[in-house]
Amino acid sequence: MTENQPHQPQNQPGQNPQQQGPDRTQQLPLSGYGQHQQQQFAPLGGQQRPGQHPSGGSAYPQYGAPGTHQGTPPGSNWPPFGPQPAHQPKPAKPKRRGLAAVALTALLVGAAGGVGGAAVYSATNDSSATPSVTAPLNGNQAAPAAAPDGSVQSAAAKVLPSVVKIAVTSQQGAATGSGIVISKDGLIVTNNHVVAGGGAGAQITVMLNDGRTVPATVKGTDPLTDLAVIHADATDLTPATLGQSGKLGVGQGVVAIGSPFGLEATVTSGIVSALNRPVTSGDEQQDSTTVFPAIQTDAAINPGNSGGALIDLAGQVVGINSAIKTAGGSGQSEGGNIGLGFAIPIDQAKPIIDELVAKGKATHARLGVTVGDAQSSDGLSSGARLGEATSGGAADKAGLQAGDVVTAVDGKAISSGDALVAAVRSHRPGDEVKINFTRNGKAQSVTATLGSDNGNPTG
């Protein structure tokens, strides 16, 4: 049986926030899951072709790029600094050299800005006549200095060969994202929203780190966790080393690798800003959402980074980049990095990936109860208020009742309905969890054994 997932109702004037009964709880699909959206986070992708809506559109959430993001190859007059004239102008006086340097710097910045602007224009207007950014130019450059262990350079060098660019084309348009190689024979993990947006019949192409492009097919998808595995037609790939997100600490250095705005093999760095951040990410146009306990980072993550790697400084994958918080609007100019990026922890992703490879679908832990926000007298969220429990489900067997307010799971504070959903989804079916809750103002605790949705998360 499929349950509806209405949006969280807003307090009406004159209502007491404390008087929130079961009729105000958020309806979740029999597992503590649902669209309990206080804040919406945008899935990542590249840029979009005309006719698509940056905020979601009919086919894609906030991601996508025109094909492989390749415009007309630059001609002989590119870059904009052509050959020097035969007769050089008279050198400026020494006191003007500083000004000349500033002018040249401004021109270089202007050229870079022009290229970036042209790329955006080409993406949104599908103009192949406008120069667009392609792969980095390979000139006669000196070999990079040896990178010390633990540096961003060293970590990036270990993982760059294992991160790919993914292009999806269909009748609805084109989009690009990123992926992480997990096996030598072509298995690649990415986000579900990267490969599912094109619909049935979409063509998937993978651009490898060495510049080759190969076709790929979908191995399995899991919309609930926003994960997917595809199989590329290659047998000599370099798999990434998967680390442990459970060992991360706030303030620890991390590196994001992917294809923001179609710019493959892009490396950015930052820190872990927060852990276990309950993030609701989804496509409002398609009425689908994902709630997961995210790694929050200030490493620059932009549309197109979806499915790419978040790594520690040892060069191990600790997360899969999935969403960003936008600056309030859905327009192209407001969809970029503002220092709030979110990744699916690799500890949560591993068992889902294994099931997708083996069976094409995945199972999820289930508490078996509807849930909403509990609010204190000052109107702030102060826990997850339980609604109706499914007969024979994990919550029912543990003795939880409608009206109970969950305040912690395994010692971690629960401040909202989304936080409880994320906490449940961080576990696997059969796991035992300690749940702290209040009933009629009295603090209590129980141990619940989580059930399974058997690969059917909506019924």
**Which residue numbers are catalytic?**
193, 226, 306
Burial of 213 (C-beta count, 10 Å sphere; 0-12/13-18/19+): middle
Contacts 24+ apart (CB under 8 A), 383-390: 383/407, 383/414, 383/415, 383/416, 383/437, 383/438, 384/414, 384/416, 384/417, 384/419, 384/420, 385/20, 385/25, 385/417, 386/25, 386/437, 387/22, 387/25, 387/26, 387/27, 388/22, 388/25, 390/30
Q: How far apart are CA 264 and CA 81, in angstroms?
A: 25
Using DSSP, state whether 322 is helix, strand or coil. Answer: strand
DSSP 328-351: S--SGGGSS-SS-EEEEEHHHHHH
Number of helices followed by number of strands (H, E) in the chain: 6, 21
What distance in Å separates the CA atoms of residue 186 and residue 178, rounded to the nearest whole number? 14
Q: Nearest to residue 227, comparing CAs of 326, 342, 344?
A: 344
